[in-house]
Structure 1
Amino acid sequence: MSSSCWIIHHLSLLPNNHRVPSNYLSKNIGVSSYTCSKTRLATVVASQQDASSTNGAGLFLPAHDSPTTLTRFLLENIRSSKAPQDIVDLISSIQFACKKIASLVSRAGVTNLTGLYNEGKSLNIQGEEQKKLDVLSNQVLKNALKYSGKMGVIASEEEDVPVTVDESFSGTYVAVFDPLDGSSNLDAAVATGTIFGIFKQAVSCLVEDDADNIEPSQLRCLANTLQPGSRLLAAGYCMYSSSTMMVLSLGHGTHGFTLDHEVGEFVLTHPNMKIPKRGQIYSLNEANYHHWDPVLKEYVENLKSGKNRSGKSYSLRYIGSLVADVHRTLLYGGIFGYPGDKKNPNGKLRLLYECAPMSYLIEQAGGKATNGKQRILDIVPNTTHERQPLILGSEEDVDELMQLYAAKLQSKV
């Protein structure tokens, strides 16, 4: 098929209001639509449909199939798993917030949303300077969850204490989230993301939606909502990069959805994601190498030299944005870590907002997650902003590190 006929064929697929006049085609392309054989066009279209049906990709989506949207996926899986219907409303609220945040992030450079909030004078509970989009993303997500009518408590990395939802909008669920993970990389246009987890509320807490006036007894009530990651009903993240992706688990596998900007819907593109049993990538900040414990140093040296059990040298890939690093690890395997060290014995990642949801997703995909001593999902948070070391990734890679720690411990006995 000639290139001219190829152009005419694909222009003919455009909607009526985008069609190109036929005289323009004849004048500028040098061939009329009648010149192109219908037989040739039929052959090309048939071959494209065959490609779509055989490899799931192809040049076009198969005409007989419609994509599985996130909402459709939720409804179908809730019917089959008997999960609570409320989860549909909650995830729908989160996906709306993620679409809004994705739009804000993509236009941050031209709408003056890069840089520090309040000229760097605003700090979060961890003493970190807040970016403009940290504050804005937090508010977007809080509002979306609050008006879902299903939330009892909302806990954010950017808030000093969990926030209760007033009685007129309250429900029985707890949402924990990092509204814009990796925001320190935002000004350099590096991938960022939103991390979230959903729990069932352990104790009903209806107190004033005013953190400054919460009584000690009410704080104890809120503390009762602190739960280990093993009790998560759902967890996921949205990644804002070359595409906007939501990776989600409802406790029955990990699934990836890509935002189709043409129709404004998240579409299932990565069903039932499985992390490889072993990878060939390690992802740790080697600038902290000299502060690591001897076991971790030995493990990383073995990966680099190929003296590990696989016998293959690993490549270093470290972005410094948790969502992006975990997403790559989920797809390609290997190991990611933000371990404790001499400077930060408990690491820097928050258990409730980052470690637990990410570990949940990795385990649902067949991987493992640990703090170096125990499974992340078994740890009960003592405070909402508790930090924990985090090592996660392919099952065999994580097991090899844990066995080195066990051997070191045994040698001391």
Structure 2
Amino acid sequence: MAVATISAVSQLLLSGGPTSRSLSHLSPFHLNLPGHQRTIFSAKQGPQRHGYAVIECAAVDTTATEVETKKKSSFELQTLTTWLLKQEQAGSIDSEMTIVLSSISIACKQIASLVQRANISNLTGVQGAVNVQGEDQKKLDVVSNEVFSNCLRSSGRTGIIASEEEDVPVAVEESYSGNYIVVFDPLDGSSNIDAAVSTGSIFGIYSPNDECLADMGDGSTVGSSRPDPVLDQGEQKCVVSVCQPGSNLLAAGYCMYSSSIIFVLTVGKGVYAFTLDPMYGEFLLTQEQVKIPQAGKIYAFNEGNYQLWDDKLRRYMDSLKDPGPTGKPYSARYIGSLVGDFHRTLLYGGIYGYPRDKKSKNGKLRLLYECAPMSFIVEQAGGKGSDGHQRILDIEPQEIHQRVPLFIGSVEEVEKLEKFLA
């Protein structure tokens, strides 16, 4: 409206009327015509008249607009795929790793959908089989393992895949084979499935050992065409040597299936969290460079096993319950799902522990599929993972399904426990 008025006044001035004056002396934002009504255009109050015409338009602050635009751009949605491509451009990962991680994210989306529809699709309950760990397999355990394995095979970038649910690692067929070695727990916390409590998938990615791959079996290589691609005992040992220690991990992550589907990932350059947006069907970056607090007042242990622990660990647990000078003891939070308990610990600080006891001499968590990947993540976030005496990532596995005690979380909390167990 103001622009139209300015145009009309400009025509009046150019017509040579008695009130005309040189345009060179007039501002396009302030036209003063003596003897006429003054009209001020206000964005909030509208035109106001005071006896003579002055048309004033507020100039646009381009600087403020640019700042606002820049501010908005900082909140621009960034998908996991975009983030991976940026990591590739920065040289943090190669194109092969980008494909492997993308395939894992697709597997997680499929499993998330299966978990959410478990009751509807009759996928709750026990499958009727027992896995290599001697544990009853849930229906979703079996399906999730199949989904994860198929996504990794079809990526064309994995040479060996090792699952917690499989007896031995599997060599990928020649037509699909690549180089990376991927270890994974397809559905951690599956005992919680029927109660709709949070579950998750955990994975770790290792670089191949070329010498090892070239000498497998009778001169054949991993990926060679053969009817049964299951590795023999010698090849399993080779895989162990490739996968150890955990400090050799190139990437690790987990996906938590809860009120939100959260995909947490590290490629050795810090920890990043992505949340699945159901509107777009994409993982969107929601947290950058996640850092665990140096200390925390939360512990997550299965205290039902208290009487089965050794005296040193019981004394440590008693110390957490002592109010001390602050008058407030530690808070107990235990879900029974490693991914759920770890994710809370990562955000809020504290310690998660699954120790050895009289029944489970080495604890229950697997080194390759759970302890090493989680320890790699927590160290990238500034925390610590330990078996009570040494760094988890320094442990050399002696077998594929080796179990170790795990204490993981804030540096100060883990070190405090180590002093009790020393």
Q: Same fold (TM over 0.5)?
A: yes
Residue 219 (structure 1) shift:
3.7
Distance 1:140 1:193 in 2: 14
Equivalent of 1:76 in 86, 92, 100: 86
What's the CA shift string for 1:70-120, capped at 9, x where partnerless? 111111123224422211101100000000000000001101111111xx2
* 1:335-373: CA deviation from partner (whole Å, max 9, x where unpaired): 100001111110000000000001111111000010011
Deviates further, 319-328 or 216-225: 216-225
Aligned partner of 1:303 in structure 2 is 320
Partners of 2:262 and 2:340 in 1: CA distance: 11
Counterpart of 1:374? 390
1:281 CA displacement: 0.3
Displacement of 1:224 in angstroms is 3.4
Matched residue type, 1:68: Q
CA distance in 1, matches of 2:247, 2:229: 31
- Are 1:177 and 2:184 an aligned pair? yes
How far residue 226 of structure 1 moved from its aligned partner, in angstroms, is: 3.1
**Are residue 353 (structure 1) and residue 369 (structure 2) matched?**
yes
- In the alignment, which residue of structure 1 is the partner of 2:148? 141
Bigger Cα Rg: 2
CA deviation after TM superposition for structure 1 residue 311, in Å: 7.3
Code of the residue aligned with 1:349 in structure 2: it is L
Give the counterpart letter for 1:112 in structure 2.
Answer: N
| Contact map agreement 1:163 1:211 (CA 8 A) in 2 | no
Equivalent-residue separation in structure 1 for 2:232 and 2:294 (angstroms):
49
Which residue identity is paired with 2:248?
Answer: R
| 1:210 positional shift | 6.0
Q: Distance in 2 between matches of 1:211 and 1:350?
A: 26
Instruction: For structure 2, list consecutive stretches of 5 or more residues without a partner in the other structure.
Output: 1-42, 46-63, 214-220
**Matched-pair identity in %:** 54
Structure-to-structure mapping, 1:6-405, within 5 angstroms? 62=72, 65-117=75-127, 120=128, 122-202=129-209, 203-204=212-213, 205-206=221-222, 214-307=231-324, 312-405=328-421
Query: Does the aligned pair in 2 maintain the 1:164–1:208 contact within 8 Å?
Result: no
TM-score, scaled to structure 1: 0.80
CA contact (8 A) 2:160 2:169 kept: yes
Return closer, same or farther for 1:267/1:299 CA change in 2, 3 Å cut-off.
same
Q: Distance in 2 between matches of 1:108 and 1:339?
A: 31
Q: CA deviation at 1:213?
A: 6.4
Between 352-361 and 212-221, the greater mean CA deviation after superposition: 212-221
Considering fraction of residues, name the structure with more strand.
Answer: 2
Task: Measure, in 2, the Cα distance between the counterparts of 1:215 and 1:114.
Answer: 34
What is the match of residue 23 of structure 1? none
Deviation at 1:67, TM superposition (A): 0.8
> Please, which moves more after superposition, 184-193 or 226-235?
226-235
Output the CA distance in 2 between the equivalents of 1:212 and 1:78.
Answer: 31
CA shift at 1:404, angstroms? 2.3
* Alpha-carbon RMSD: 2.3
In 2, distance between residues paired with 1:105 and 1:76? Answer: 31
Residues 292 and 382 of structure 2 are in contact (CA less than 8 Å); yes or no, is this contact kept in structure 1? yes
What is the alpha-carbon distance in structure 2 between the residues aligned to residue 212 and residue 79 of structure 1? 35
CA distance 1:311–1:212, change in 2 (3 Å): farther
- C-alpha deviation, 1:68, in angstroms: 1.2
TM-score, normalised with respect to structure 2: 0.78
Q: Deviations over 1:209-237 (max 9, x none)?
A: 66686444444443433311100000000
For residues 259-306 of structure 1, give each alpha carbon's deviation from its aligned partner in whole angstroms, at most 9, with x where no partner exists. Answer: 001001101111111000101100000000111122211111111113
Q: 1:212 to 1:86 in 2, by over 3 A?
A: closer
